[in-house]
């Protein structure tokens, strides 16, 4: 055992001498060690052997695998042709970098979009000239971040640019001139060849995150050239000293600013590609890392240690079987290694570009969940291609429930229903004007190839094309709702109405162009069915000769169901719709007729006339009750506008209705509840008291008034009848204190007590005695 240890010691000494001898030689001969990372050839030193030369080449490649060696950089600097931007380019660059883009991350969207355009161009050229793709048959985009070099590289195999195109295309801002550029920025561009489609404007968003930008480009008709600029007033264009390394296409290298480390993070880049460019037509690859396990041979030291361990074990082995097991120890080990590969980022193809017949319901549902972040299945969806004035593809979804905060202008969710794409490039999901407010709950995508944009794609310009898109989306959304309403099983539509019914009512108020279509979707409680019903179903149940749809608004369903105003209609078999949501009467007031021929009649107003009947009271009744109506008007004074004989009451003695032009009881209640409501009463309902001439109370009151117009009981009954009519008709009591006093007097009379009976006075002595007890 001692002999073996001595051999190992001697072997270790030999290894140490072999390692240190070259360094000692440098010191003895007065030589310096090579500087780290800089090859001797580039420092003007002689390259000794072939092995040294190969080491230099490997070192150059290690310095910057995606860029240029130090030697290449020196050649670019010496041979580069300098071009100067116009004098005011600094002002223009300031606009681009500081004003046009509110979010720096859009630079990646712009560069990927430009790469996609270049790929579209070469693909188009290849349709008539197949040789165009011989230089590189692959059509793809690659993104690579180098954390050490702090560079981000976006490479495409598109059409590329010639030397002249690099000068002119990447000088778009200077070439167009300050005035022309600013005009285009402020006014937008009214044709498909807008600024953003030109390689050069969106390209300059790269300077949002980069101190310097290098563009390497190879066109089939020219050599490979390099464009460089730091956006300080000039740029250089140089023939690439490395020759043709791209085959065809463009590679953009961004030397990132110090505060942009996020854009070197693989996960951040994945998120941005997914957010903005998930549906680009061409594959997008990201240089990605992953951990893998692999078997590797043991090192010499590990093998030596293992051999020593085996020999030690051999000496203490008890039997041959144990010895055999020890000899089977593995000669390899498992390690975890980081490897890099090109990973496809846009595996999901835009399903809106596919034929709807080829898409399964499951695919539509999964796509909805992906774009809406909703875990529930959609209630309904529609997939369509719009043609005509503007062409676009779209898929719209109705969620199964109302998304939170849709109508809150301060929430981040407001206006985020539709994702807007242009040529499969994501533009925004926060555009409030693409859908009217009442349809903000709709989710989906809209993809247009010819929608005009402003220079930054941040804001859409108001244009005829935009209005055409909006108009068609609204029509298709309403058609989707109508399909739900027409399904034989009403379960889904009832769910839709529960969640989005108020949105449809808001649409009737705000959307004059589509209010008739929306009216067919409205649902209200019915006096006949006891359930929600549409106006169309109401019409199908109308009595013969009926041309009016009768409705009544109120605070709750119980209030309107027990209102005296519906008594005669229900008795005669007419159906009444109950409107108990605050928005209901607002919406109905915007509909003159349903389906163009059925008048919507509020039975809470005066002069109600039932279809097919002469409902004007007989003149004998008017004359007979003239003394009572005059008495009531005198007693009630300004509380009412007039007193009339009713043609709608059967069970109740009286009711209050609104004048034809005044507020109904329900509208007055809503108006008073508003924080800034007018408290003077100038706009409140002008009330009309209707009395039932067949009711015993009215007949008795007429007798008392005829005998004695100053009858105190008649005065109390008149006031109490007004108060009860107010309550039963939905109006608020004006003086609850006096109302309770009148009720107490009536209670006294009902018990044969004095109307003004009061409690007996209790003496102070009695109070003290009670306290003592």
* pLDDT 10s digits, 150-160: 999 999 999 99
Helix residue ranges, H only, 661-711: 665-673, 696-707
Residue 560, pLDDT score:
92
pLDDT over 90, % of the chain: 39
Residue 96 is given by DSSP the state I
* pLDDT 10s digits, 395-416: 999 999 988 766 665 544 455 7
Residue 732 is given by DSSP the state P
Residue 170, pLDDT score:
78
- Tell me the three state secondary structure of residue 401: coil
- Per-residue pLDDT band for 747 (boundaries 50, 70, 90) equals confident
* pLDDT 10s digits, 171-229: 655 343 334 444 555 554 433 333 333 334 578 788 889 989 999 999 999 999 999 98
Residue 11, pLDDT score:
45
Is residue 429 pLDDT above 90, yes or no? no
* 176 phi and psi angles, rounded to 5 deg: -75, -20
The mean pLDDT of 260-286, rounded to a whole number, is 90
* pLDDT 10s digits, 435-474: 899 999 999 999 988 776 543 444 555 567 788 899 999 9
* 215 phi and psi angles, rounded to 5 deg: -115, 120
Residue 771, pLDDT score:
53
Record the tokens describing residue 352, joined without a space: 């809106």
If you search the block for the tokens 């529960």, which residue do you land on?
Answer: 498
Least confident of 53-57, 303-307, 379-383: 53-57
Residue 312, pLDDT score:
64
More confidently predicted of 83 and 530: 530
Q: How many Å apart are CA 173 and CA 199, to the nearest integer?
A: 11
- Per-residue pLDDT band for 610 (boundaries 50, 70, 90) equals confident
- Specify burial of residue 565 (Cβ count, 10 A radius: 0-12, 13-18, 19+): buried
- Residues 443 and 400: beta-carbon distance below 8 Å: no
The mean pLDDT of 473-493, rounded to a whole number, is 93
Residue 346, pLDDT score:
86
Residue 681, pLDDT score:
55
pLDDT over 70, % of the chain: 74
Residue 483, pLDDT score:
94
The mean pLDDT of 10-21, rounded to a whole number, is 45
Helix, strand, coil percentages for the chain (3-state, nearest 5): 45, 20, 35
Record the tokens describing residue 641, joined without a space: 């506008």
The candidate with the shortest Cα–Cα distance to 458, out of 209, 212, 95, is: 95
Residue 254, pLDDT score:
94
Residue 8, pLDDT score:
45
Residue 120, pLDDT score:
85
- Per-residue pLDDT band for 386 (boundaries 50, 70, 90) equals very high
Record the tokens describing residue 540, joined without a space: 């199908």
* pLDDT 10s digits, 573-598: 999 999 999 899 989 999 989 998 99
Residue 453, pLDDT score:
53
* Mean pLDDT of the chain, nearest integer: 79
Q: Could you tell me the sign of the dihedral formed by the alpha carbons of 642, 644, 647, 649, in that order?
A: positive
The mean pLDDT of 558-569, rounded to a whole number, is 92
Is residue 682 pLDDT above 70, yes or no? no
Residue 235, pLDDT score:
85
* 33 phi and psi angles, rounded to 5 deg: -70, 150
Max mean pLDDT among 146-160, 315-329, 614-628, 703-717 falls in 146-160
The candidate with the shortest Cα–Cα distance to 351, out of 237, 258, 260, 445, is: 445
β-bridge mates for residue 335, sequence order: 294
- Residues 576 and 566: beta-carbon distance below 8 Å: yes
* pLDDT 10s digits, 310-344: 666 655 555 555 555 555 566 777 888 888 899 99
The mean pLDDT of 724-743, rounded to a whole number, is 84
If you search the block for the tokens 């004006």, which residue do you land on?
Answer: 734
Task: Write out 488-536 in H/E/C secondary structure.
Answer: CCCHHHHHHHHHHHHHHHHHHHHCCCCHHHHHCCCEEEECCCCCEEEHH
């Amino acid at each position: 055992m001692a002999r073996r240890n001595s051999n190992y010691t001697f072997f270790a000494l030999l290894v140490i001498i072999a390692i240190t001898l070259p360094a000692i030689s440098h010191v003895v001969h007065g030589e310096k060690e090579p500087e780290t990372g800089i090859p001797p050839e580039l420092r003007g030193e002689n390259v000794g052997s072939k092995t040294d030369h190969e080491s230099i080449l490997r070192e150059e490649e290690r310095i910057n695998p995606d860029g240029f060696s130090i030697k290449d950089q020196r050649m670019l600097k010496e041979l580069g042709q300098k071009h100067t931007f116009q004098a005011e380019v600094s002002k223009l660059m300031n606009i681009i970098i500081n004003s046009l883009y509110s979010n720096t991350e859009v630079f990646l969207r712009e560069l990927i979009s430009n790469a996609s355009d270049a790929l579209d161009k070469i693909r188009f050229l290849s349709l008539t000239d197949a040789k165009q793709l011989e230089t590189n048959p692959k059509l793809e985009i690659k993104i690579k971040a180098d954390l050490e070099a702090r560079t981000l590289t976006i490479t495409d195999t598109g059409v590329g640019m010639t030397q002249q195109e690099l000068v002119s295309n990447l000088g778009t801002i200077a070439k167009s001139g300050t005035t022309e550029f600013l005009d285009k920025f402020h006014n937008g561009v009214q044709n498909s060849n807008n600024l953003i489609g030109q390689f050069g404007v969106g390209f300059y968003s790269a300077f949002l995150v980069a101190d310097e930008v290098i563009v390497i480009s190879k066109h089939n008709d020219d050599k490979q050239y390099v464009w460089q600029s730091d956006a300080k007033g000039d740029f250089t264009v140089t023939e690439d000293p490395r020759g043709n390394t791209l085959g065809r296409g463009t590679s953009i290298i961004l030397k990132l600013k110090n505060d942009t480390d996020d854009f070197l993070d693989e996960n951040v880049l994945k998120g941005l590609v997914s957010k903005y460019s998930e549906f680009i037509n061409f594959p997008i690859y990201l240089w990605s890392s992953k951990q893998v396990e692999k078997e590797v041979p043991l090192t010499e030291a590990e093998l030596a240690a293992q051999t020593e361990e085996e020999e030690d074990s051999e000496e203490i082995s008890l039997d041959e079987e144990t010895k055999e097991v020890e000899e089977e120890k593995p000669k390899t080990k498992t390690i975890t290694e980081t490897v890099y590969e090109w990973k496809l980022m846009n595996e999901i193809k835009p399903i809106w570009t596919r034929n709807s017949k080829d898409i399964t319901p499951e695919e539509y549902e999964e796509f909805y969940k992906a774009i809406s972040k909703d875990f529930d299945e959609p209630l309904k969806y529609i997939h369509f291609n719009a043609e005509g004035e503007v062409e676009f593809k779209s898929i719209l979804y109705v969620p199964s429930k109302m998304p939170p905060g849709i109508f809150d202008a301060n929430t981040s969710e407001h206006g985020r229903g539709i994702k807007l794409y242009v040529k499969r490039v994501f533009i925004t999901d926060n555009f409030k004007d693409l859908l009217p407010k009442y349809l903000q709950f709709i989710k989906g995508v809209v993809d247009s190839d010819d929608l005009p944009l402003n220079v930054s794609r941040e804001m859409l310009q108001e244009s005829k094309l935009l209005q055409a898109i909006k108009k068609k989306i609204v029509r298709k959304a309403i058609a989707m709702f109508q399909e739900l309403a027409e399904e034989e099983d009403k379960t889904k539509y009832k769910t839709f109405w529960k969640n989005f019914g108020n949105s449809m009512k808001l649409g009737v108020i705000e959307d004059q162009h589509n209010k008739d279509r929306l009216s067919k979707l409205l649902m209200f409680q019915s006096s006949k069915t006891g359930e929600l019903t549409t106006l169309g179903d109401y019409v199908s149940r109308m009595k013969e000769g009926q041309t009016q749809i009768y409705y009544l608004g109120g605070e709750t369903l119980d209030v309107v169901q027990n209102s005296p105003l519906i008594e005669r209609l229900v008795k005669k078999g007419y159906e009444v719709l109950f409107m108990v949501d605050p928005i209901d009467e607002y919406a109905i007031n915007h509909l003159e007729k349903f389906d163009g021929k059925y008048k919507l009649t509020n039975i809470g107003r005066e002069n109600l006339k039932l279809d097919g009947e002469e409902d004007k009271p007989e003149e004998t009744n008017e004359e007979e009750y003239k003394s009572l109506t005059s008495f009531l008007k005198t007693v009630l004074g300004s509380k009412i506008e007039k007193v009339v004989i009713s043609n709608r009451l059967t069970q109740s003695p009286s009711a209050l209705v609104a004048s034809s032009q005044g507020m109904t009881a329900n509208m007055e209640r809503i108006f008073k509840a508003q924080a800034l409501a007018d408290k003077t009463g100038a706009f409140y309902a002008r009330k009309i008291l209707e009395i039932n001439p067949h009711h015993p109370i009215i007949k008795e009151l007429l007798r008392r008034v005829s005998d004695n117009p100053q009858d105190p009981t008649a005065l109390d009954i008149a006031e109490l009848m007004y108060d009860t009519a107010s309550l039963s008709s939905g109006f608020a009591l004006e003086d609850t204190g006096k109302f309770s006093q009148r009720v107490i007097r009536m209670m006294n009379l009902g018990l044969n007590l004095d109307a003004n009976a009061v409690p007996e006075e209790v003496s102070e002595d009695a109070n003290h005695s009670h306290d003592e007890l």
